[in-house]
Chain A
Amino acid sequence: MNRENATGIWVFAETRDDKLESTVPELLAVSRDLSKVTGEKVTAVLLERQDLDLAPALIEYGADVVLEVRSDILGDFDPVLYKDALAQLVEKYNPNIFLFGATHKGRALAPRLQARLQTGLTADCLELVIDDTGLLVQTKPSYGDNLMCTITCPEARPQMATVRPNVFHPLPRNHENAGTVVSEELSLEPNENYRVVKKTRVPAQVSSIGNADKIVSIGRGIGARTNLTQVQLLAERLHAGIGVTRPLADNGWFSHDEQIGQSGITVQPRLLLNLGISGAVQYKAGMKNSGVVVSVNRDIDAPIFSVSNYGYVGDVNEFVQALLAECSNLE
């Protein structure tokens, strides 16, 4: 579809465990900023099971309109089915912009929809602004966040982007917001050749550090595996989550979903304690939005110190022991 008459800023209201996925309020906040420039309405597009009703929450987070499709065949995430539903809505309404969270669903669904609509999509954006000509300018990192590109989609519509989680801040939920809910009836056929058999949360101790307020992050400098016990105690004392660098995920001590970095998780804790981490480019990419960064390394030239607020140059395990003792004195 092309530029003429395309109007509206759309957000895909992804759901997770029967609630709005955490990037959705972030996307609505960005959209409200964009709408201040373009004057367009912000529309949340919701595909949900019959028994859910997430539209009111979307309005409270900033949507002017909610396009709601309710069907039990939308209960499980099937990228083809969701793509068909969204394509029908896009063809009916011709939106200008369509934003998705760069979650696994967003990263599976958005490009599929992009191909179906033969339009442009920029993945994992860190910034979205409107330029003087009214185009959406998408800033995207590449080469392990060492290079930023700004990208536009001059003609094709909608202009699509997936947005990196934990970068934009959501607006506070506002019960006074007014908005319209539009129920859409779509012709959707269940997909015979795709079936979600089982969904599991990976066990509780491995919860996502992407949202953690405090993180203790461990690198190869920790040395022997037995040293981890102290670190885990320290993390508990500090009420912190545990993250690791890639080598400690690759060697099987931790899973890749505890890995902070360019090919792992982006974190934005208020406090980040780096233990035995040298500070490879790919690691720094995942942690740079952190609040206070404290790093411990025996090497004063370790690159991690250039992105730290506080540093201890010395033996990691000695420091951990000392900090653990000091924290016990607190309680």
Chain B
Amino acid sequence: MKIVVCVKQIPLSNTVKIDPQTHNMVRDDEEGRMNPFDRNAVEEALHLKETHGAEVIAMSMGPPIFTSTLREALSMGCDDAVLLSSRAFGGADTLATGYTLSQAIKKIGNVDLILFGRQAVDADTGQVGPIVAEFLGIPQVTFVSSMNVINESEIEVTRFYDDEEEIVETTFPLVATVRSELNTPRYTTPLGIRRAFRKEISVYNETDIKCDPSRIGMRGSPTVVTDTFIPKKAGRNMHQLNTNAEKAARELVSILRDRKLL
């Protein structure tokens, strides 16, 4: 079984600062972190490596600094890592990103399972997994909370969202996007880290993977960000209730009755 896990490096914190002069986001020069849901994806791949002898390749698209997240995936136990990096890939929206990843997956060849976290907690789109599935012409299951490989061609998964659970039987090759309920991601170990540093991360650009240049990067992105802004903080003027609990409770109940909330 061959598995590709797509991981994204996101900023360390979600606090956003905009440079008052350039109106651009101030990005820390610090390295980022692996998107939390991608950790669950890596963990699932490693679990299948243990139970089914799968080969696990971590993949990411981004600038050279994204190697740090790939290095972490290797330290957790992935066999190989691939970074898709080139100026030509830059400025990609979800469509161009999905296209680039799917071309790389085609180049790797014979991939049975492609795993994603359910969404990246910076951009929050959750779109790239289904886009890759469409470009590869294979089934997809999103919001996966449990996975059970039946045999080399069939798998049963549970999808979970809001208050609905769905059990789906489908076939390999498959794209799955996973939720945090799926598993508990392992930590990296010192041995894992040492092993990871001896591995080479392959870096592919647009000539290494067969790409239609009009479908990658900004050229391949139908959408454009026209503006970014920090929303006005929805502040409220808080009225502080009495410091004595009983008096405060009485005060609150009276207020809520007046506002017809009780």
Residues of A at the B interface (CB closer than 8 Å) are: 77, 79-80, 83, 103-104, 107-112, 114-116, 118-124, 137, 141-156, 191, 193-202, 206-208, 210, 214, 238, 250, 256-257, 262-263, 265, 270-271, 281-282, 288, 291-295, 305-315, 318-319, 321-323, 325-327, 330
Contacts and interface: CB of A to CB of B under 8 A. Distances in A.
Given A111-B127, A292-B261, A149 B133 contact: no
Given A103-B161, A308-B238, 6 more contacts: A108-B130, A111-B98, A146-B16, A149-B228, A309-B239, A319-B245
A268 B70 CA distance: 39
A153 to B, nearest CB: 5
Contacts of B11: 143
B135 A115 contact: yes
Interface of B: 11, 14-16, 25, 93-95, 98, 119, 121-131, 133-135, 139-140, 142-143, 156, 159-171, 179-181, 221-231, 233-241, 243, 245-246, 248-250, 252-253, 255-256, 259, 261-262
* Interface of chain A, main secondary structure: mixed
3 tightest Cβ-Cβ pairs between the two chains A and B: A104-B161, A120-B222, A115-B134
Given A123-B125, A214-B261, A193 B171 contact: yes
Contacts of A111: 94, 98, 125-131, 134
A123 B127 contact: yes
26 contacts: A107-B127, A111-B94, A112-B130, A120-B95, A124-B125, A142-B124, A146-B15, A146-B230, A147-B25, A147-B230, A151-B225, A153-B222, A194-B168, A196-B167, A199-B167, A202-B164, A257-B160, A262-B14, A263-B121, A282-B14, A307-B235, A309-B239, A311-B240, A319-B245, A322-B246, A327-B253
A143 B16 contact: yes
Contacts, number: 248
Given A262-B121, A318-B245, A148 B230 contact: yes
* Interface of chain B, main secondary structure: mixed
A118 B95 contact: yes
Given A80-B139, A146-B14, A307-B236, A271 B166 contact: no
Contact of B142 (A108, A114, A119, A194): A108
A194 B174 CA distance: 10
A193 B170 contact: yes
Contacts of A265: 162
Contacts of B167: 196-199
